[in-house]
Amino acid sequence: MIDKSNSPNYRPLYDQIKVLLTQSLIGGEWRPGEMIPSEIDLAGRFKVSQGTVRKAIDSLAGENILIRRQGKGTFVATH
């Protein structure tokens, strides 16, 4: 669930999306080497902006969990 409140436990929206994406990866929704849905599709799924999804994906790519391939898409790392 996405928390947009001002509660003391509030996490930035992109961080919440990052957690949801990580849970999907752990749950086996996408397998290593498989392409994940587009930023636009994920933004619609989570009801957030494409920029928020991009920031979450960038963070996961920085941790080598996802791999971006320009013109191809974003893929789950195989290692």
User: Mean pLDDT score of the chain, rounded to an integer?
Assistant: 93
CA angle 26/47/36 to nearest 5° reads: 40
Q: How far is C-alpha 64 from the chain's CA centre?
A: 13
Chain segment 13-35, per-residue pLDDT in tens: 999 999 999 999 999 999 999 99
User: Do residues 66 and 49 touch, judged by C-beta distance below 8 A?
Assistant: no
Domain with 52 in it: 13-76
Residue 52 included in any domain: yes
List the CATH number of the domain containing 59: 1.10.10.10
CB 18, CB 63: distance < 8 Å: no
- Identify whether 2 is part of a domain: no
What does the pLDDT average to over 42-70? 98
Nearest to 75 by CA among 18, 33, 20: 33
